[in-house]
Chains A and B, each alone.
Chain A
Amino acid sequence: MKNDSAGDNAPVVMGIETSCDETGVGIVRGHELLADAVASSVDEHARFGGVVPEVASRAHLEAMVPTVQRALDDAGLTLGDLDGIAVTAGPGLAGALMVGVGAAKAYSIATGVPLYGVNHLSAHIAVDTLENGPIPEPAIGLLVSGGHSSIMMVEDLAGKVTQLGASIDDAAGEAFDKVARLLGLPFPGGPYIDRAAKEGDRAFVQFPRGLTAAKDMERHRYDFSFSGLKTAVARWIEARRAEGEDVPVNDVAAAFQEAVCDVLTRKAILAAKEHGVETVLLGGGVAANSRLRALATERAEAAGLTLRYPRPKLCTDNGAMVAALGSHLVAAGVAPSRIDFPANSSMDVEVVSLANRL
């Protein structure tokens, strides 16, 4: 059986992503990935220990048109072959978003191809279709990256996505970056912590699990907090140094990573069970973490749930995820966005795409 978003007649959509430090341009045909061109400015940020917005924006402008051309070349297509252009309208860094939105609008009016301003978080969910096909609805999405940590309920990827919970302070990826810095590991911290943790003892120290105490589970059932964890790690390292002892980097990395992954997976699985949902999706840069994948797999299996996640390259920010969501919207008959939509750095996480009306 063929459906609208699969097969040769599925919508061909180009997606543009510039919400942070990756200039991403992807092209998909339904669930088929045709191109995934990414230019990253991550190396330029490394010495600052975090993404510098102005540096990212400058890099986006430089990379924008060449990255579009590379994606079209890789896909063997021209702009005239597209059924839609989708772009991340938010949330993200304002100046960075504006480069992608400006470019997408210009490509749309220069070619007549309809334009869709979409939500970055919904795109992190949609990208899974490129790996695992249509998403069974409803599904629970656990989105974790340097900018967000949310549990989303996906009833309809074309329009009804609600947030069940989110971090009330730092994003999970931010905690990885900060702890990496404490341990003298490079930026971005995620991959380095993951690597160090493989050689460490997860049970070396029991770091705190934020918002899991009984009273927190009433008010913040599906919410996260990682700033206390980061502080606990800092204090532990400080105390260790004060005693004149070495800091066992691998063990601290493993114990910290375990605390993050434990809370994330525990709450996501709980949300699925309590909402009668059978599918859990992982998305966002932290979804590339090997321990998060392993623990989520283990717990989903134990709970009788289906766990899905895309390959690591599709978890981090890229244009393919935006294209995947765009193609889904076109197939679902969602109207394109008005040409005057803004780039919205604090875009409501529950708005999947910007409407074609005032």
Chain B
Amino acid sequence: MRVLALDTSTSAVQAALVDLDDDELFLTAFRREVNARGHVERLAPFIEGCLADAGRTRADVDAVVSGVGPGPFTGLRVGMVTAAAFADGAGIPVYGVCSLDGIGGNTRGRALAATDARRKEIYWAVYDDGRREGEPQVCRPSELPETRADYAIGEGASKYAGELPMDAETEPVYPDLVKLVELAAPRLLAGAPSERLTPLYLRRPDAQPAAAPPAASA
């Protein structure tokens, strides 16, 4: 089956077409641009570009897989609404995968996968031979709890290499779309029901309640 995979949880705007047959995965088209403010402009053309590169049309896509964060909210939502609307428009199912798993899922040993959460914080999770331990979290790099991770990887790791208690890869690594499809493969192959995608926000919205006005008489 042919899967459209999207992730906009980092400053990389990414789209790919991935063929999934039994447990074989094959990347047939891929577009990526590191452009933290370009999600809404770049993503839709990337989907069209991927289809054109692969010599396919929209009718050839069987399912959509989307990273659901955590990630900076505005860009993340663009990818997720694109995935949900494309799937709805094409009448195909959509499945969500934690975006950090697209980084940590490819690691060996104990690794910290970290993306840039802005405001001097990182979104992170610990992976043991590619398997995530616990839920993703957000905090300052200097405030990480003991993770026993041997190294850190991801855009958040390279950006805050100097503040992390473990070695960090200096090249930013972004969620791997083939990995996201692999993680969704059981659902894809089983024809699981389409999902309502919910972002992993990990933060409450910024909203200061307005001061209560003095009550006036009626």
Task: Determine if B205 and A99 form an interchain contact, defined as CB atoms under 8 angstroms apart.
Answer: no
Task: Determine if B207 and A55 form an interchain contact, defined as CB atoms under 8 angstroms apart.
Answer: yes
Task: Determine if B213 and A107 form an interchain contact, defined as CB atoms under 8 angstroms apart.
Answer: no
| Given the contacts A69-B88, A102-B43, A342-B40, A64 and B58 also touching, CB distance less than 8 Å | no
Task: Flag the segment in B74-82, B125-133, B171-179, B185-193 that touches A.
Answer: B74-82
Chain B interface secondary structure, helix, strand, loop or mixed? helix
- Measured between beta carbons, the chain A residues less than 8 angstroms from B201 are 58
* A264: interface (CB < 8 Å): no
- Measured between beta carbons, the chain B residues less than 8 angstroms from A98 are 39-40, 74, 77-78
Q: B-facing mask of A59-92, CB < 8 A → 1, else 0?
A: 0110011001100000000010000000000000
Who on chain B is nearest to A107 by CB? Answer: B89
* A19: interface (CB < 8 Å): no
| Given the contacts A57-B74, A247-B216, A343 and B86 also touching, CB distance less than 8 Å | no
Interface centre among A58, A61, A237, A250 (most CB of B within 10 A): A61
Task: Flag the segment in B44-52, B98-106, B112-120 that touches A.
Answer: B44-52
Taking the nearest CB of chain A, how far is it from the CB of B68, in angstroms?
Answer: 11
Total interface residues in chain B, CB < 8 Å: 41
A107 and B83 alpha carbons, distance in the complex (Å): 10
* A339: interface (CB < 8 Å): yes
* B90: interface (CB < 8 Å): yes
Q: A-facing mask of B62-88, CB < 8 A → 1, else 0?
A: 000000000001100111111111111
Who on chain A is nearest to B88 by CB? Answer: A65
A106 and B44 alpha carbons, distance in the complex (Å): 7
Task: Determine if A61 and B77 form an interchain contact, defined as CB atoms under 8 angstroms apart.
Answer: yes
A303 and B7 alpha carbons, distance in the complex (Å): 58
* A243: interface (CB < 8 Å): no
- Measured between beta carbons, the chain B residues less than 8 angstroms from A341 are 41
Chain A interface secondary structure, helix, strand, loop or mixed? helix
Task: Determine if A181 and B210 form an interchain contact, defined as CB atoms under 8 angstroms apart.
Answer: yes
- Measured between beta carbons, the chain A residues less than 8 angstroms from B55 are none
- Measured between beta carbons, the chain B residues less than 8 angstroms from A99 are 77-78, 81
- Measured between beta carbons, the chain B residues less than 8 angstroms from A50 are 210
Q: Could you give 22 example pairs across A and B, Cβ below 8 Å? A: A52-B206, A52-B207, A57-B77, A64-B85, A68-B88, A69-B88, A79-B89, A94-B74, A95-B73, A98-B40, A99-B77, A101-B40, A103-B84, A105-B82, A109-B86, A109-B89, A110-B89, A182-B213, A183-B216, A184-B214, A246-B217, A339-B48
Taking Cβ atoms with an 8 Å cutoff, the residues of B that contact A are: 39-45, 47-48, 58, 73-74, 77-90, 196, 199, 201, 205-210, 213-218
Taking Cβ atoms with an 8 Å cutoff, the residues of A that contact B are: 47-50, 52, 54-55, 57-58, 60-61, 64-65, 68-69, 79, 94-95, 98-99, 101-112, 181-184, 237, 241, 246-250, 339-343
Since A58-B201, A64-B81, A106-B81 are in contact, a sample of 6 more A-B pairs with Cβ atoms closer than 8 Å, ordered by chain A residue number, is A54-B205, A102-B78, A104-B85, A105-B43, A106-B85, A110-B89
